[in-house]
A = this chain, B = another copy of it.
Amino acid sequence: MESTDIILDLFLVLIAAKVAGEAFERLRQPAVLGEIIAGIILGPFLLGLLTDTDVLGALAEVGVIFLLFTVGLHTRVSDMVRVGGSAVAVGILGALVPLALGWGIMAALGRATLESVFVGTAMMATSVGITARVLADLGVLNREASRVIIGAAVIDDIVGLTALAILSGIAAGRLSYLSIAITAVESVAFIAFAIFIARRAADRFSALTEKVWRRNPGFIGPILVCLGLSVLAEYIGLAAIIGAFLAGMVFAESDRRARLDRAIEPLYDLFVPFFFVMIGVRVAPGAVNASILVLALVITVAAILSKLFACRFAAWGLARREAWIVGVGMSPRGEVGLIVAAIGLTRGVIGHDLYAIVVLMSLLTTFFAPPVLRRLIRPRVPAAAEQVAAASEADEHAPPC
């Protein structure tokens, strides 16, 4: 009622996301790419109809929280334990090889050590959001490769965020081994708490909230757990999305999962597109020249190849196609790369040239993965079979009512 902006923005983002997403699906491309492109078109880069406001940023954050919560809901601890070895290997190798390669390339070009390490750090990250969305849209979140990717991406995030914390500490001139050790211990304790303790308490907690809150049984309680663990994750220095993901896992084996899944669906449909549209909106115009573009392409190719082969190799225990799916699925840097870039710029670790390079690398790796992933997971089939597949996929998404 106060300003027309927020409702108009909601309308624009939703209609653009849904139209572009649907168009991309019809072209057999992932809907998420359509949403990012819709953001680039509507944003300051082209039309200037949307800008990166606090409100849209907040809705994007709510979107990614619901996305990771949904991913967590489809991730059983028992399945994670089964792929645990592969996930740890993929996560660690998939973080260290890109770090080394990025650092090496920049050092070879004569850049300062701090800058070089920073570019390497940005290349460590994995945007689990992008890949998880593609996997969810294809209805294969329960596939072995999907579980390895998501488990590895969580480990990756922890390694990457720890590296970022260290770098920020160096940049700020303050750093103690003690504070690094504390962050690491807190992270492990938090994950262990969510997986081993919170999970056991989940059904009891749900039963309690259902008794206390007569309305919305089985919905508000889990949402509060999701937000609470997200806040806790940020508090101890992890990303909020890790908390949301673990909260989803807490309820993955609960009796209430089906009902919770159904309640989360409208929230997912409404808010997740904001996250992807805003990735597009944040692409700023200008500040890119030929030499930066060349270096960005080199770094992008290095980022893709290092992740692809390191992860494919680390996933040697899986079938061949699954191992390649893991390699491709781990390669998009997406919003994680963009966040690292923003932190580097604001803290003065990198200049505008390296910022543009890291941003371009994040976007290009993000555009590379989804179509390849889709082709690997669902090879081109005759039109009739595709329709059957689409129909059965629709069934998977229909509320089990």
Contacts and interface: CB of A to CB of B under 8 A. Distances in A.
A51 to B, nearest CB: 13
A224 interface: yes
A3 to B, nearest CB: 8
A245 to B, nearest CB: 12
A192 interface: no
A377 interface: no
Contacts of A219: 266, 269
Nearest to A263: B266
A18 B227 contact: no
A2 B266 CA distance: 24
A351 interface: no
A126 to B, nearest CB: 14
A80 B55 CA distance: 36
Interface string A186-221: 000000000000000000000000001111100110
Copies assembled: 2
Contacts of A265: 216, 263
A235 B4 contact: yes
A10 B62 contact: yes
Given A18-B213, A231-B11, A266-B266, A6 B58 contact: yes
Interface string A2-28: 101011101100110010001001000
Contacts of A25: 214
A65 interface: yes
Contact of A58 (B58, B216, B223, B339): B58
Contact of A239 (B1, B62, B212): B1
A401 interface: yes
A276 B224 CA distance: 18
A253 interface: no
A216 to B, nearest CB: 5
A41 to B, nearest CB: 18
B1 A224 contact: no
Interface string A258-283: 00000111110110000000000000
B263 A8 contact: no
Contacts of A234: 4, 7-8
Contact of A227 (B2, B7, B22): B7
Given A1-B240, A55-B58, A224-B15, A212 B7 contact: no
A258 to B, nearest CB: 11
B266 A335 contact: no
Contact of A11 (B18, B228, B264, B401): B228
A241 interface: yes
Given A55-B54, A266-B219, A270-B223, A214 B390 contact: yes
A64 interface: yes
B4 A227 contact: no
Contact of A335 (B1, B18, B58): B1
Given A214-B394, A269-B215, A240 B62 contact: no
Given A6-B58, A7-B234, A224 B14 contact: yes
6 contacts: A2-B339, A6-B62, A7-B227, A11-B230, A223-B270, A263-B265
Question: 3 closest pairs, A vs B, by CB?
Answer: A11-B227, A55-B58, A4-B234
